[in-house]
Amino acid sequence: MTKPQKKQPPDIHPAADADIDHQYERLRDHYCSPATLHKFLDAIEEAKAKIGDNPETWSKVSGSNKVRKVQIKTFRMTAFYVVRKNGVPLILEFAGPGLLPRWSDRL
């Protein structure tokens, strides 16, 4: 019998961290309430948890055989990531609404 794999939190590309900061500042600059900003951060953490808990579950991006995505519907964002050979996911990008994905530049 094999041991269940330990769930790994995903690693985050530095540019993906910058994506979060940029989107947070955008929301703050549009006078979103502190509650909305908190919901945004919670939604990001939820997406990270989904990826870390079941990285192979989420659909692959059209035209890529290794990049996957998780939708963050409340804020119309998408988290793009890859599952590396060691099994630890790497989040490449948090794409906000109206932005063209840049994950291919971050592979």
| DSSP one-letter string for 20-88 | HHHHHHHHHHTT--HHHHHHHHHHHHHHHHHHHH-TTTSPBPTT-SSEEEEEEGGGTEEEEEEE-TTS-
**Host H or E run for residue 16:** helix 14-29
Q: What is the pTM of this model?
A: 0.89
AA letter at 86: N
pLDDT above 70: residue 10: yes
pLDDT digit string (tens) for 34-90?
A: 999 999 999 999 999 999 999 999 999 988 889 999 999 999 999 999 999 999 999
Q: Hey, how many other C-beta atoms are within 10 angstroms of the C-beta on 99?
A: 14
AA letter at 39: K
- Give the Cα separation of 30 and 81 in Å (integer): 28
